[in-house]
A and B are shown apart, each in its own frame.
Chain A
Amino acid sequence: MNSIAELQKKVKHSHKLRITNYDDESDEELVNMSSYSGVVEYYPEELVLTVKAGTSIKIVNEELAKNNQAFPFITENPEQTIGSLYATSGAELSDSVLGVQIVNGKGELLNFGGQVMKNVAGYDVSRLLVGSMGKLAIITQISFKILPEKAAKKFQQEAPIKNKENSLRLIYEAKLKKVFDPYGVFI
């Protein structure tokens, strides 16, 4: 997937879509985001980085290292894309998320949060979607708070704990799925 317009069109015209990072364009149901990559904006003095979701962690780390900066969270697989990391992580990562751009299940391009550390306008959708496993929306772009390398090393990613029979939580997750993907496109 190379352009947002193309992506929106695909969402609008599909019944079922699965978001992946693997190079398999043969399956109609797959949306491959790995080619949608690159740093969108990076100002070291702001401690803010905005990247397209298909960018690999390795590329981002190389870019940040030029200014002796790094993500505040530890990542294991440098080949993983930022979008995939975002979709599968928890609070340790979302603590550093500042904003997100998404295409929802209706094919709308939406922005939540921003590129500033403090922003309490509107519900915190950019952190809500962390860990949403690609089931609510396609994540196209993410802004992160970054840190000097020295400070970043203090943080450790904790392993998430499985939800134990939290049935009420699951009810609200299902309701929120409908908010972002009313037609159930993302499987």
Chain B
Amino acid sequence: MSIISELTKALPKNSVISGEENTRPFECDGLSVYKQKPLAVALPSNVDQIKKVLEICKKNNTPVVTRGAGTGLSGGALPLKGSVVLGLSRLTRVLSIDPEAQTAIVEPGVRNIAISEAVEEYGLYYAPDPSSQIACTIGGNVAENSGGVHCLKYGLTVQNLEALKILTVDGEELLLSRKDEGMGLLALMTGSEGLLGVISEITVKLTKKPQQAKLIMAGFDSVRDCANTVASIIKIGVIPAGLEMMDQFAIEASEAFAQAGYPLDAKALLLCELDGSEELVEEDLNKVMDILSKATSVRVSENEEERLLFWKGRKSAFPAVGRLSPDYYCMDGTIPKRHLSDVLEKINDLSKHYSLRVANVFHAGDGNLHPLILYDAGKPGELEKTEAFGMDILKLCVEVGGSITGEHGVGVEKLDAMCHQYSAAELDVFHQIKAAFDPHSLLNPGKAVPTLHRCAELGNMHVHHGNLPHPELERF
């Protein structure tokens, strides 16, 4: 019996999709430049059915690519040739809510925003807010350790988890809680990009809705003045709920799209959100206003409507830039904030070098850069040029002590960039961790961690402190 008929037999009607045309909607995730049709797509409705899929795939030695809503931006859910896509979008139940303990137990296919909606009546919400939150699933958030615009104050996914149920490749249930004694397995699973296990149940931590939130919008004559102001805000002891920066190109694009009242003459824009009790917001607001002397324009949201309008420009920056160009490529490096001005200058130099425009939006509070490179995939060679530009940006991030990805993950997209950030010995540890959980490499194989050969072939093997494992290996 073929694996497709085995899956069809084991799962309820309409749970298995196969064939060239039918699998097309699953051929890519949010990074659509990479496409590959899977052998089949299995859409289980409960944990027992997931176990059956795993069992059948294991028996047939068939790779499994777990997928949530497919909104990921690094190709983490890109199907592999001959693989089965394990789509968890039908597991959408909120199993329980404990308003007292401020936790909720949910299935992996529950959408991020749906958690906040389900707990709204208790004055609670789920804090991490990736910009795809209306569509992306919590299972995918855990697999990618997703962030959002409020990470500085409220943390990433990993800080907002209480417990996980993981199905191992053998279909066994591994229970992990933040209260466990011993190694940090909960953190290891978070952000493991579907390579170590299948996330089957999540206990999330919920946060009390702040009494008040105010947004300060300040324009600056230079990126440097804006970056220095970010540093000053942190230094005076204020932790903003959100702290965002945009460069001139991003300001223009967003304003044309959202009409949020952004200052079009500014070279850089700062959005600083303060939340908490009314007293705290007032106190922090006064402190921040005192250090905005370099700003060329300052506005504070007068009401909730205006606060959301100010945010609208920033939150629609990606589609706004998308209107100006046939295609754009979103980068996701992080840097220590003190290097911001220098890094942005170098990105502008690179932009001239490659003759490709770039708009910069930046989670200034946590050092996460999202340069958007504008290109036209229809022009021969332009995608390759864009990818080379992107790689130069990521190298720059690593050089100043940052990372190649802050929240989008490695997937297939940043495999080469991983060779710059990690040494061969470190990559070897990653491969061994994978082997400890998935010895036959059936779970999303080949993603997230490059092979040592791949790095050696690139000639980019990052060898620090003279440590190179397997010196006996031929390098070419």
Interface positions of A (Cβ within 8 A of B): 43-48, 67-69, 90-92, 94-95, 104, 108-112, 114-125, 127-133, 136, 147-151, 158, 160-163, 166, 168-169, 172-173, 175-176, 178-180
B388 at the interface (CB under 8 A from A): no
Question: Hey, which chain B residues are within 8 Å of A44, CB to CB?
Answer: 234-235
Some 10 contacts from A to B, beta carbons below 8 A apart, are A91-B184, A116-B403, A117-B152, A119-B403, A121-B414, A123-B196, A127-B187, A158-B179, A162-B181, A169-B175
| Beta-carbon contact of A46 and B336 below 8 Å | yes
Which one of A110, A116, A162, A169 lies within 8 Å of B402 (CB-CB)? A116
Question: Which single member of B147, B184, B366, B429 contacts A94 (CB below 8 Å)?
Answer: B184
Q: List residues of chain A with CB within 8 A of the CB of B176.
A: 169
Chain B, range 107-157, C-beta contacts under 8 Å to A: 144-145, 147, 151-152, 155-156
- Bound CA span A158–B205, Å: 15
Residues of B with C-beta under 8 A to A131: 181-184
Given contacts A124-B158, A128-B185, contact A179 B432 (CB under 8 A): yes
- For B, the interface residue count at a CB cutoff of 8 angstroms equals 79
Chain B window 363-406, contacts with chain A (Cβ cutoff 8 Å), 1 for yes, 0 for no? 10011100000000000000000000000000000000111111
Q: Does B418 sit within 8 A of A, measured CB to CB?
A: yes
Whether A148 lies near B178 (C-beta < 8 A) is no
Closest 3 interchain pairs by CB?
A127-B187, A118-B406, A91-B178
A110→B181 contact, CB < 8 A? no
CB contacts under 8 Å to A, within B349-370, are 363, 366-368
CB distance from A145 to the nearest CB of B (A): 9
In contact, B437 and A172 (Cβ under 8 angstroms) = yes
- Interface residue? B192 (CB, 8 A): yes
Among B155, B158, B182, B469, chain A packs the most CB atoms within 10 A around the CB of B182
Asked if B172 is at the interface of the complex by the 8 Å CB criterion, the answer is yes
B174 touches A120 (CB 8 A): no
Determine how close the nearest CB of chain B comes to the CB of A86; give it in whole angstroms: 11
Establish whether residues B191 and A120, one from each chain, have CB atoms under 8 Å apart when the complex forms.
Answer: yes
Q: B402 to A108, Cβ gap below 8 A?
A: no
A133 to B406, alpha carbons, bound, how many Å?
A: 29
B56 at the interface (CB under 8 A from A): no
Complexed CA–CA distance, A90 and B180 (Å): 7
Q: Name which residue of chain A comes closest to B181, CB basis.
A: A160
Residue in contact with A169 in the complex, picked from B159, B174, B179, B230, CB distance below 8 Å? B174
Identify the closest chain A residue to B427 (Cβ): A122
Nearest-CB residue, chain B, relative to A176: B436
Kindly state the separation between the CA atoms of A132 and B181 in the bound complex, as whole angstroms: 9
B67 at the interface (CB under 8 A from A): no
Closest to B153 in A: A151
Q: What residues of chain B lie closer than 8 Å to A179, measured between beta carbons?
A: 429, 432-433, 436
- Contact check, B366 vs A116: say whether CB atoms are below 8 A apart: yes
Q: Mark B82-119, 1 if CB is under 8 A from A, else 0.
A: 00000000000000000000000000000000000000
Contact at B172–A124, with CB atoms within 8 Å?
no
Q: Would you give the 0/1 interface string for B51-89, flagging 1 where the beta carbon is closer than 8 Å to chain A?
A: 000000000000000000000000000000000000000
**B403 to chain A: closest residue by CB:** A119
